[in-house]
């Protein structure tokens, strides 16, 4: 049976960056069966259904780096640089954070993301089983990376080997869950020793698991690694075997030209987090050089305590602004790049060819945007709408969201999460965690 969605505009995110005005998307059993201009829609059978939704349909957005359970810590440590923010504010609170808090934080984060058009999120956090459970309850697609770290305080989760074993066990327990893929989340080279990183690499290789970690986020992050090994963080990770084809590296602000070449050679994907990098004054990532070298790049919000929202539209706009400032070039990144960074490019960075586009064989993760706001005029030709959406639109223009063909947001409201109830519980938890 086909569900046919008719819209004023369909942006499938194909190679040609086509915009079909008007267009259609056919969905069958959670997958896209066809999409294109309305005039080319194939005939329907007697059991098929037609939904006239108007507006603009585009693929669900892919958030390439998040710790969404940190909604429970939103706003904490405002004004501090990364090292003090982590050491003085975040880690002490996280030491008190229970699996129930993580579940709650993720539930609220999932609602926020879905309402803003994000249908897939990359989640690195501890209490990962609780995070995955909440995401599934919300109907959000996730790549869950249970965190592995050897920093003071993390002994409560056992050794790094215990954490790796835990991630493998979680992967096995969720093997039948279509919405979740479990990988390995070694926090970073500065919070893990060589032996642990090597074990992550060996496990990832043996089980074909994706790897997600923070790389070169701040200027000083690699100093200890450089002093010890004489290498940059990416070179050190390469030596330990941690640059596998499904390695997704977050931030990547302070890379050398050789590091960029290294990422391209190994097929590493990059999660670019301009909002977080700006808020913590980490720096401007070399996005243009990465993409020119052939590295797949998507945008990520990072956690809602270092952003402080889960708004990928804002992230894409910041990516354009920062790239133009960094390069001194108003053409450094454009409107098409913004959509690539949120959808198809992001899916490529994750090594996932089943999401990120409304094309046959991809999952029916789909977003409807209303184009009724005053900022969507004037329109001299339909493509003007895409520029208006990137530069002047907002997550509040997202009205409806489908994940795997299931409508999870309708008329702006999240159907899967009791948001009011979750928010009340979140407030109570945040007070307790602040101590």
Number of residues interacting with Zn ion: please give it, by CB under 5 A.
Answer: 1
Collapsed DSSP state (helix, strand, coil) of residue 119: strand
Q: Does 315 bind Zn ion (CB under 5 A)?
A: no
Q: Which of residues 342-381 bind Zn ion (CB under 5 A)?
A: none
Instruction: Please identify, using beta-carbon distances, which residue of 213 and 358 lies nearer to Zn ion.
Output: 213
Q: Are 255 and 283 in contact (CB under 8 A)?
A: no
> Of the two residues 349 and 409, which places its CB atom closer to Zn ion in the complex?
349
Q: How far is the CB of 52 from Zn ion (least distance, A)?
A: 41
Rounded to 5°, angle at Cα 269 from 346 and 362: 40
* Residue with the CB atom nearest Zn ion in the bound state: 302
Asked whether the beta carbons of 361 and 27 are under 8 A apart, the reply is no
Region binding Zn ion by CB under 5 A among candidate stretches 189-197, 295-303, 316-324, 325-333: 295-303
Identity of the residue, 110 or 213, whose beta carbon is nearer to Zn ion in the bound complex: 213
Supply the minimum distance, in Å, between the C-beta of residue 349 and Zn ion.
Answer: 15
| CB closer to Zn ion out of 78 and 353 | 78
SS3 170: helix
302 makes contact with Zn ion (CB under 5 A): yes
CB 370 within 8 A of CB 55: yes
Tell me how far, at minimum, the Cβ of 251 lies from Zn ion, in Å.
7
Q: With contacts defined by CB under 5 A, name the span among 91-99, 219-227, 294-302, 375-383 that binds Zn ion.
A: 294-302
| Nearest to Zn ion of 302, 400 (CB atom) | 302
Task: Fill in the DSSP letter of residue 154.
Answer: G
Q: Applying CB under 5 A, which part among 111-119, 149-157, 302-310, 386-394 lies near Zn ion?
A: 302-310
Secondary structure (3-state) at 214: strand
Nearer to Zn ion, 199 or 302 (CB): 302
Which residues sit opposite 143 in a β-bridge? 122, 181
Q: Using alpha carbons, select from 406, 296, 377, 384 the residue that is nearest to residue 344.
A: 296
CA nearest neighbour of 60 among 367, 338, 304: 367
Range 15-48 burial, b when 16+ CB lie within 10 A, else e: eeeebbbbbbbbbbeebbbbbbeeeebeeeeeee
Q: From the CB of 293, what's the least distance to Zn ion, in Å?
A: 23
Could you say which residues in the range 218-277 bind Zn ion, by CB under 5 A?
Answer: none
| Of 215 and 260, CB closest to Zn ion | 215
Q: Which residues bind Zn ion (CB under 5 A)?
A: 302
């Amino acid at each position: 049976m086909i569900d046919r969605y008719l819209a004023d505009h369909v942006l499938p995110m194909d190679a040609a960056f086509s915009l079909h005005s008007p267009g259609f998307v056919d969905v069958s059993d959670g997958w896209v069966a066809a999409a294109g201009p309305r005039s080319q829609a194939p005939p329907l059978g007697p059991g098929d259904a037609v939904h006239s939704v108007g507006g603009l349909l585009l693929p669900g957005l892919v958030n390439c780096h998040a710790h969404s359970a940190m909604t429970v810590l939103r706003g904490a440590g405002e004004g501090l640089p990364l090292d003090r923010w982590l050491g003085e504010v975040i880690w002490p609170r996280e030491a008190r954070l229970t699996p129930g808090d993580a579940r709650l934080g993720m539930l609220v984060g999932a609602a926020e993301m879905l309402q803003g058009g994000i249908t897939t999120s990359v989640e690195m956090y501890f209490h990962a089983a609780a995070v995955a459970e909440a995401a599934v309850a919300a109907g959000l697609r996730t790549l869950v990376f249970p965190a592995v770290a050897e920093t003071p305080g993390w002994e409560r989760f056992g050794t790094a080997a215990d954490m790796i074993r835990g991630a493998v066990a979680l992967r096995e327990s969720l093997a039948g869950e279509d919405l979740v893929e479990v990988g390995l989340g070694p926090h970073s080279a500065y919070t893990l020793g060589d032996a642990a990183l090597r074990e992550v690499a060996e496990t990832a290789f043996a089980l074909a698991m994706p790897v997600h970690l923070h790389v070169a986020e701040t200027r000083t992050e690699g100093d200890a690694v450089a002093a010890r090994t004489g290498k940059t963080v990416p070179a050190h990770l390469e030596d330990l075997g941690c640059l596998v084809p499904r390695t997704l590296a977050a931030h990547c602000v302070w890379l050398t030209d050789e590091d960029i070449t290294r990422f391209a050679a190994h097929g590493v994907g990059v999660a670019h987090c301009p909002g977080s990098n700006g808020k913590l004054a980490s720096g401007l990532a070399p996005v243009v050089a990465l993409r020119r070298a052939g590295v797949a790049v998507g945008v990520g919000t990072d956690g809602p305590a270092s952003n402080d929202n889960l708004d990928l539209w804002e992230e894409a706009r910041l990516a354009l602004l920062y790239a133009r400032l960094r390069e001194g070039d108003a053409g450094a990144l454009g409107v098409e790049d913004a959509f690539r960074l949120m959808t198809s490019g992001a899916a490529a960075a994750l090594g996932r060819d089943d999401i990120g586009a409304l094309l046959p064989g991809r999952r029916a993760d789909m977003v409807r945007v209303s184009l009724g706001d005053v900022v969507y005029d004037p329109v001299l030709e339909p493509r003007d709408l895409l520029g208006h959406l990137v530069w002047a639109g907002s997550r509040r223009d997202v009205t409806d969201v489908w994940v795997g063909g299931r409508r999870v947001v309708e008329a702006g409201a999240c159907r899967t999460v009791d948001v009011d109830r979750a928010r009340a519980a979140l407030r109570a938890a945040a007070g307790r965690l602040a101590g």
